[in-house]
Amino acid sequence: MFKYGGYTGNILRVDLTAGTTKVEKLDENLARDYIGGNGIAARYLYDIVPAGTDPLSPENALILMNGPVQGTRVPAVGGRTVVVTRSPLNGFFIDAYYGGHFGAELKFAGFDGIVVTGRSEKPVMLVVEDGEARLVDASPYWGMKTFEFQEKLRGEEEYHDSEITCIGPAGENLSPMACIISGVHAAGRGGVGAVMGSKHLKAVVAKGSGGVRVPDMEALEKYCDSINERMKENPATSKVLPTFGTPAIVAANNNLGLLGTRNYQVEVFDEADAINGEALRNSAFVKSASCFSCPIGCAKLFRMEGDEYGPAESVGPEYETLWSYGSNLANSDLKSIIAADRLSDELGLDTISVGSVIGMAIEAFEKGLITAADTGGIVLKYGDPQLMMDLIKQVATNEGFGAVLGAGTRELGRRFNAEKLAMETKGLEIPAHSPRGYPGMAIGYATSNRGGTHQDGRPSAERGGAVDRKLKEGKGEYIVGVQRMTTLADCLVACRFTEGIFGLTNISEDYVDIMKHVTGMDYTVEELNDVADRVYALERAFNAREGASRKDDTLPYRVLNEPIPDGPAAGEFMEPDVFERELEAYYRKRGWDVETGLPTAETLRRLKLDDVASDLY
Amino acid sequence: MPRLCVDENKCTDCRICQLVCSARYNGVYSPKLSRISKKAGIIPDTTTTDVCRQCSDAPCVAVCPAEALIQPGGEGVVTLDESLCTGCELCVDECPYNAIWFNGETDLAYKCDLCGGSPECEKRCPTVAIYVYEEEAV
């Protein structure tokens, strides 16, 4: 039995080229120093994927990892999984997370994680069950959309009580915007689905009859009860999210004048009322759903009659998608957004990146930078739901203009001399939290190892008023604390909706308590900060091997040069000199070199990353 | 007579009921060891739950050759005396609601006994989807 509670102590190694699987023991020191999820996966990736590896080659690794807490009742944490790989969209480190039940089932099936390398000749699926693994021919399923596939597989006696993680046609076609789907949940960002597709791996299927052991069940159960009580007292986790889910954020941001509209040309969407949380609740709500062990139930099944855009039934759209397929495209047709959300899940596409690149392409078309000759004759315009549906399908084919879009906003900018319109950092599209109106979030985008994600830096404290939203002074140092919190939460594979309970801006004593109760390990907050810093520095070192440095910690042209033109937040943007000042404060706080934007050798050694220091210096 | 009921429209498939059940009775978190079995579709518009209905004149009691399943007077909660259970699994096969299971490690059957009157699952269900329903005696 593994030394610490929560873990199975087993990592599955899969070589698809050789068609072999092997169970290896989890290193106890790895558990202590990296905890799990993001951390352990980052260490595996750094160690086994050499610099310069083509993300879609057999040599890249696709890593699925849970953490010590998955499978337990710790609220809003129990079922999540992280996918870590080298991104085919931007070539950097990517960690993409998904909710649902898979992370717990993987634990019950006997594994803390799966590391896949190689490429199978034929389509296969990996089946893990009670400590064992096998590769099964998936040729009959290749080409299937994600829901159709999962339902078909669940219909087979052998798999009826399994949890499935899979790709759809977009992943099979190697679209750099392909995601991975489990149930109705997506590991959305960075093209992780294309990496899975490149390995000819249609699915990973988990079923297990095992259990998760902890040092003192009674104590943990009491602790979970106390967290639940705090969740009941918090309006976000007790009322807003259970009632509306994330669509509640549409009105909040639009009221602040910070709802990206028409590719962030403006940040007020006049028709936001048609696509906000109230509209969805009143006209489309069917049922709430939860991830494993979560009392919040933020997932909402929405359904509208009429299938002119295809089935308008989906768990979602979430806030991000209401922005990306809604305000960002000046589209207020709610039914089309639900249908587009469903279509994207079925094809296996990241709604954030797809909506962002479509919004950018339309702007470039209106400005004459892209013409009908480039689009195969299609006229691109805002507020056209059918065009949106057609382009989503094109992106999934990864052919023609769909392939041009799927290569991302950075590539689109290069191709059509439209760099100033690209809303990305490090080649990953920025989501729905305004970098002009949330300065801390802006520095979070710039310094994220992934690029434009709202899951390293966070908008929540600025949006909710826990910190002064408009203040820029000190936001560089501030976002270090936020990123430490998110990185540690990612090692636990915890949902971001625990942040209002466990702390928005720093690692709190709650994480000490969780680790103590679940694993039996004693940490101080300072030691947990070190874990977070270790993981973040390691990710940065991975990127550094691929050529990344301070030059890549940037913001889009629009954010640095074009103030928000009108609305309640008119005039707000990130002045370049302020940005550079805060960026340097950020580096200093992290113990990184302000010239290179990389951890110093001294910092790496302090974090027990001596081998990485030797690699970089 | 009391038994657990589930309002599937309220159930969000969070499985907390299963977790608190296995935590209490098995000392581990393991849905497969809980006294409640749950299923949901890929699109979670429906959930289904298998849990003991504490049938009157329960067929599991009748079929048990070891008299390990006990229901005084043929009414109310069916309890299992583990010291008498031989692990023959006849009750598992007999249950019309698939609500008795067999633990391969202990070689014993297991089923819901309402935690002696105040079930953990009812106390912890965030949406009050699972609850004790008290049927009036006719």
Q: Per the structure block, which two tokens stand in for A419?
A: 């760099």
Q: Do A293 and B19 touch (CB under 8 A)?
A: yes
User: What's the gap in Å between the CA of B12 and the closest CA on chain A?
Assistant: 4
Q: Which of A182, A233, A234, A292 to mutate to test the interface with B (most CBs of B within 10 A)?
A: A292
What residue in A sits closest to B128 (Cα-Cα)?
A295
- Cβ(B132)–Cβ(B11) below 8 Å: no
Chain A residues with beta carbon closer than 8 angstroms to that of B20: 73, 221
As a whole number of angstroms, the distance between CA A349 and CA A47 comes to: 29
Helix, strand or coil for residue A267? coil
My answer on whether omega of the bond before A565 falls inside 30° of 0, hence cis, is no
Report which of A550, A548, A508 is spatially closest to residue A526, judged by C-alpha positions.
A508
Chain B residues with beta carbon closer than 8 angstroms to that of A217: 23, 27-28
Report which of A125, A134, A102, A135 is spatially closest to residue A172, judged by C-alpha positions.
A125
Chain A residues with CB under 8 Å of a chain B CB are 71-73, 78, 101, 104, 108, 147, 150-151, 154, 161, 183-184, 208-214, 217, 221, 225, 228, 286-297, 299, 301, 313, 315
As a whole number of angstroms, the distance between CA A335 and CA A233 comes to: 34
As a whole number of angstroms, the distance between CA A519 and CA A215 comes to: 7
Give the mean pLDDT of B35-53: 93
Q: What pLDDT is recorded for position A600?
A: 98
Chain B residues with beta carbon closer than 8 angstroms to that of A292: 14-15
Report which of A246, A183, A297 is spatially closest to residue B11, judged by C-alpha positions.
A297
The neighbour count for residue A246, using CB atoms within 10 Å, is 21
Return the ∠ at Cα A210 (arms to A204 and A212), rounded to 5°: 105
Q: What element of type H or E holds A157?
A: none
Q: Do B19 and A297 touch (CB under 8 A)?
A: no
Q: What is the CA radius of gyration of chain A?
A: 22
B135 pLDDT higher than 90: no
Q: What pLDDT is recorded for position B137?
A: 53
Q: What pLDDT is recorded for position A78?
A: 84
Q: Do B43 and A71 touch (CB under 8 A)?
A: no
The percent of residues above 70 in pLDDT, for chain B, comes to 98
What residue in A sits closest to B120 (Cα-Cα)?
A221
User: What's the gap in Å between the CA of A184 and the closest CA on chain B?
Assistant: 7
Helix, strand or coil for residue B49? strand
Q: What element of type H or E holds A153?
A: helix A146-154
Domains of chain A: 10-207 (3.60.9.10), 234-369+381-390 (1.10.569.10), 433-616 (1.10.599.10)
Residue B136: band (very low, low, confident or very high) from pLDDT cuts 50, 70, 90: low
Domains of chain B: 2-134 (3.30.70.20)
DSSP A470: S
Q: What is the mean pLDDT of chain B?
A: 94
**Longest Cα separation, chain A:** 67
As a whole number of angstroms, the distance between CA A135 and CA A522 comes to: 39
DSSP A261: B
Q: Which of B7, B8, B10, B12 to mutate to test the interface with A (most CBs of A within 10 A)?
A: B12
- For chain A, 617 residues long, the average pLDDT of each consecutive 10-residue run is 96 98 97 98 98 98 97 92 98 98 98 98 98 98 98 96 97 98 97 98 97 97 96 95 96 98 98 98 96 96 96 96 98 98 98 98 98 97 98 97 98 98 98 98 98 96 96 98 98 95 97 98 98 98 98 98 98 98 98 98 98 97
Burial state string for A84-102 with b = 16 or more CB within 10 A and e = fewer than 16: bbbbbbbbbbbbbbbbbbb
Q: What pLDDT is recorded for position A301?
A: 97
Chain A residues with beta carbon closer than 8 angstroms to that of B45: 286-287, 301
Chain A residues with beta carbon closer than 8 angstroms to that of B43: 147, 184, 301, 313, 315
Chain B residues with beta carbon closer than 8 angstroms to that of A153: none
Q: Per the structure block, which two tokens stand in for A340?
A: 């587009």
B138 pLDDT higher than 70: no
As a whole number of angstroms, the distance between CA A393 and CA A26 comes to: 41
As a whole number of angstroms, the distance between CA A389 and CA A456 comes to: 30
Chain B residues with beta carbon closer than 8 angstroms to that of A289: 12-13, 40, 44
- Cβ(A523)–Cβ(A11) below 8 Å: no
